[in-house]
Structure 1
Amino acid sequence: MNTPLATASGTPSVTPAVAPPGTSAAAQASAPVGLPTLPRPAADEFDAVIRQGAYMPLTQFGVIDATGDDAASFLHGQLTNDTQHLDAATARLAGYCSAKGRLLASLLTWRTGETIRLLVSKDLQAAVQKRLSMFVLRAKAKLVDASGELAVVGLAGDVRKALSGVFDALPDGVHVQVDGTAGSLIRVPDALGRLRYLWVGPKATIEAHLPLLDEKLKRVSPAVWDWLDIRAGEPRITQPVVEQFVPQMVNFDVLGAVNFRKGCYPGQEVVARSQYRGTIKRRTSLANVAGELATVKPGAELFHSDDPGQPCGMVVNAASAPEGGVDLLVEIKLAALEGGTVHLGAADGPALNFLALPYGLPTEV
């Protein structure tokens, strides 16, 4: 059945961002709205990814298109990664920082034709586009919201045969991308040993191909993709954690999202100083905690059993886990991992069970 991509599994509830005390009604009305809280996927939705293959419409993302003669050089001066030399076969993870080196957004960047595309959390798309546009000045570059014309689909598991019916060639490595008549196909980091791809293309084109996917793959909730991103150890900046972390705190240096040899960008001095002066005392780890997404949210603070008076970390991303509870990516003081227990929300809150990341972290001095 050709199911419209705009329809997600289940009926999500939208959690608005909390406005500070004293915020006017008008200001509250225009405050950013957080992403929908997606219902817990059914067991067979998780199983489909692990045992066979699945696809999922990813309504949690927005797309910004950058066009113009200076688009690549402009973005090169704004993001943590190299866009000046971005070729047609490569996608790159990047961060967008404030002047203080704190992440305003995380983005996946790639080139399609003369356009550079930026995939960003849907709740940040408008703010990121507006802020970037403020700095275009005399550059020949234009930023537009392409979310309405494009669909984003995630595929995971044994999906290569299904994709081969759509694309003439498939990406053979992580962050390799191919362009075809149906759009762009990008391989992203594996999760639990399963292949993962992002397919971004015109909505009408992708919807026309859905019957082919439905014959070979199970359609599952976009919440499964959030879980896979967490198990891949790849943090995503969303509205509740804007300006909380320098890139190294969310392992972006390890994930290849920071180019330390490129020219300046907002916050570059802070990011470089953290890297070369041995001041990285906080990292992102993988964990599981009892609870549901109604109470386990990005931005929630963590507390250590030996120092209950002050937080030792923060939840970056959270997703329902198939075995129960919630899987998390948490930014945390490295010292807090050396002993004792870490708890969600308060020193007597649920204890985190830490899991191994799928990649190694450098030894901090």
Structure 2
Amino acid sequence: MPTAILADRAIIDVSGPDAEHFLQNILTLDLDALGQREARPGALLAPQGKIMFDFLVSRSGEDALRLECRADIADDFVRRLTLYRLRAKADIAKQDQPLVAVSWQDDSAASQSDSTVRDSRFQAPVFRHYGAVLEAGATEADWHAYRIASGVAESGPDYALADAFPHDVLLDQMGGIGFKKGCFIGQEVVSRMQHRGTARRRVLLVSADSALPAPGTELSSGGKLVGTLGSVSGRHGLAIVRIDRVKAALDAGVEITAGDVAVAPAIPGWASFTYPEAAGAEDA
């Protein structure tokens, strides 16, 4: 069972009699569907529908929820949540020196601790561990290689906050959007994209016969921009691409490259979206 300590993560505790109702009204995911000992992805959006903060949320006790996010955005996230709290009876606090670890490929991890939760973004067993001192037999690089191979994108290495819609990073595929729960910040834009089927930017797996270039490298085909490379682990990576342009390149047999490296794109096996039947228009 590989286990890695994640030093770049932070924990924000939201607790109190109004905690869940408060978060349900502003976050993308449906907290009514959040089980015990389960971590689900979610986001806090701008009114225009783009992701301001991404995180994993899990239950940490009665009337208490745990938000795990990037350490470098945690203070801003706390300030934004506090701004939206108004008169809700909910306490918002960032933990000092939180312990966050992740393990994968072993069902037995579920019984290690009451603070162990299953990461629902993954089809195979992946567990987050909070507050427990564990022996790390793997590195963060090992973990990110597994995350990349699984097709799970995160802000920072894969996309910039305020620059992606939830559909772009597959939150709609992971249960990270509650389409039936009612209003949340940015809900109108996200729901319109869902119902009209207009999501054309998507995370894809990319692979190559040699090492991929650095994250942020543009993907192109026939002189046209196709997307941008995100996380990279050797010959494998993730990229946010225009799937209509990828489909056009595949249909025409035109090579897609990241820099000067030819890449093969693929939809993650667990995702339900497909390439469009015909290439779309060239508008953004």
**Separation in 2, partners of 1:157, 1:276:** 35
TM superposition score normalised by structure 1: 0.66
Report how far residue 228 of structure 1 moved: 1.4
Q: 1:361 aligns with which of 272, 278, 282?
A: 272
Q: 2:242 aligns with which of 333, 337, 345?
A: 333
Report how far residue 353 of structure 1 moved: 2.8
Find the counterpart in structure 1 of residue 88 from structure 2. 139
**Separation in 2, partners of 1:353, 1:341:** 9
Q: 1:89 to 1:57 in 2, by over 3 A?
A: closer
Report how far residue 196 of structure 1 moved: 2.0
Could you say what the CA RMSD is over the residues aligned between the two structures, in angstroms? 2.5
Find the counterpart in structure 2 of residue 230 from structure 1. 148
- Whichever residue aligns with residue 271 of structure 2, its letter is G
Matches within 5 A, 1:84-233: 84=32, 86-114=34-62, 115-148=64-97, 150-158=98-106, 160=108, 164=111, 166-167=112-113, 180=114, 183-190=115-122, 195-201=125-131, 206-207=132-133, 210=134, 213=135, 219-233=137-151
Give the total of aligned pairs.
Answer: 268
**Separation in 2, partners of 1:154, 1:361:** 26
Of the two, which has the highest radius of gyration? 1
**Separation in 2, partners of 1:85, 1:335:** 33
Q: 1:142 to 1:196 in 2, by over 3 A?
A: same
Report how far residue 221 of structure 1 moved: 0.8
**Separation in 1, partners of 2:122, 2:33:** 25
Report how far residue 312 of structure 1 moved: 2.5
Matches within 5 A, 1:243-258: 243-258=162-177
Give % identity. Answer: 25
Report how far residue 342 of structure 1 moved: 2.7
Report how far residue 64 of structure 1 moved: 0.9
Report how far residue 89 of structure 1 moved: 4.3
Q: 2:223 aligns with which of 307, 316, 336?
A: 307
Q: 1:58 to 1:305 in 2, by over 3 A?
A: same
Contact preservation (8 Å) 2:106, 2:126: no
Contact preservation (8 Å) 1:121, 1:236: no
Instruction: Tell me whether 1:63 sits opposite 2:11 in the alignment.
Output: yes
**Separation in 1, partners of 2:238, 2:43:** 17
Structure 1 unaligned spans of 5+: 1-52, 168-179
Q: 1:120 to 1:197 in 2, by over 3 A?
A: same
Is the partner of 1:351 in helix, strand or coil?
A: strand
Report how far residue 357 of structure 1 moved: 1.4
Find the counterpart in structure 2 of residue 352 from structure 1. 263
Report how far residue 187 of structure 1 moved: 4.4
TM superposition score normalised by structure 2: 0.84
Report how far residue 259 of structure 1 moved: 0.9
Q: Deviations over 1:308-349 (max 9, x none)?
A: 4xx33223x4142xxx33x322111112222223333xxx53
Contact preservation (8 Å) 1:287, 1:328: yes
Contact preservation (8 Å) 1:336, 1:342: no
**Separation in 1, partners of 2:198, 2:218:** 21
- Whichever residue aligns with residue 272 of structure 2, its letter is L
- Whichever residue aligns with residue 341 of structure 1, its letter is E
**Separation in 1, partners of 2:65, 2:52:** 19
Q: 2:256 aligns with which of 338, 342, 350?
A: 342
